Structures are given as C-alpha cells and as structure tokens.
Amino acid sequence: MATRTLTRCYRFPDVDFEPDLRLLVWKDKSETSLTQHESRLLEVLCYCAGEVISAEPLYEKAFSQIDPYEDASGQHYDINAIFHSLTDKLNRDGKLAIPIEVLPHYGFRVPLPDKTCRTVHQNQLKPSLPAPEEDVPPPYEETPTEKIVKYSVWHKISVAILTLAGVAMIVASTF
C-alpha cells in the first residue's frame, strides 16, 4: 500500500530535499533520512540559498524552538557536529549533492536550487513486524483513582449531590 503526501521540495541537480519529511530523495528514487537537527539546518540554508548567512543567525533560525512544547533555553547544539553528519549524508560519489560553501569569517552559503516547489511524495508502507516478546507492555492495571471512580459508593453519592446542587442553582437563578 502507498501513501501520498504533499510536501515542500528544494530541487537540486542530484537530489531533492523535502524538509517536511526530513528526506533527501535521490534521482534513483532512493531516500536518505535526516535527523530533525540536520533537516532544520539544511532547511534554513536552502531558505536563504544564494545568500551568505553567518553562524549566529543560522543557529538561531535553525534551533530556536524546535519543539514548541519544550523549553529549549538550556539546550545547546553542536553546529559543527551536525554539519559533519549532514555532509556525510549529502556525499555521493565523492561529491556533495548540495554543496555547502564555508566562507571563513562570514558564514555559510548553498547555491540556489533548480526549483522550489510542492511535490507529492509517495511512501511505500512496509508491513510491520510483530513486536518481540520483551517489548510487550505489562497488562493494564487500574490506578487508585480509577478504582475509586468505578467502585466507591461514596464517590457516586458525592457526584449525585453535586449534580443536584448544580441543578438547584440553575433552577433558583431562573426565578
């Protein structure tokens, strides 16, 4: 079975970069997945393609608020390590598919993509394998709160009294 996804795409001569899926799609249709940090870094570089972007603004745009539900104030990312792993993944036949130019004392630059577009990405779903025995979660046990709600007569009486009090307040407020 295949799923289709509409994604943004930066098309370069040898590879398509799809930041929404964190994928490099090569011309032979093979795919290389990127980490979230590699994808964000490459996305910022592609967004500013043709321009020189210094390390500080690049870092701020790529890594400020990666996860909106997470406090990232204390997190620091090693941009050199991320660049190293990214260039390893971009290397094909001894050549970088998306050349990242380093301009000492100025910053970084990637060339303009051939095309920036939206593309329909087709995923082939592979059948999932059954989970190994040790990964089976333990049987579900009710929490003490769930036991009180389900089985306590006093809880049921207090809920009924609160409901009646609420109805009485509504009735009294209409007169």
Q: How far is CA 48 from the centre of its chain?
A: 21
125, 130, 134, 136: CA torsion to nearest 10:
90
Ordered alpha helix ranges (H), the chain: 36-47, 55-63, 79-90, 144-151, 153-173
Predicted local confidence at residue 128, as pLDDT: 46
Predicted local confidence at residue 135, as pLDDT: 57
Q: What is the pLDDT of residues 21-76, one digit of tens each?
A: 899 989 898 899 999 889 999 999 999 999 999 988 888 888 876 556 655 555 67
DSSP helix/strand/coil, 14: coil
pTM value?
A: 0.63
Q: 120 or 18: whose pLDDT is higher? A: 18
Q: What is the pLDDT of residues 82-109, one digit of tens each?
A: 889 999 999 988 899 999 999 998 999 9
Residues 91 and 24 sit within 8 Å (Cβ to Cβ): no
**What residues have CB less than 8 Å from 140, skipping those under 6 apart?**
none
Q: What is the pLDDT of residues 113-150, one digit of tens each?
A: 988 888 776 665 454 455 455 555 667 777 788 888 88
Given pLDDT bands bounded at 50, 70 and 90, which one contains residue 151?
Answer: confident
Arithmetic mean of pLDDT over the chain: 82
Planar angle of CA 155, 159, 162, nearest 5 degrees: 140
Q: Which two tokens stand for residue 48?
A: 């500013």
Q: What is the b/e burial string over 94-131, where b = at least 16 CB atoms within 10 angstroms of the residue's CB?
A: eebbbebeeeeeebbbbeebeeeeeeebeeeeeeeeee
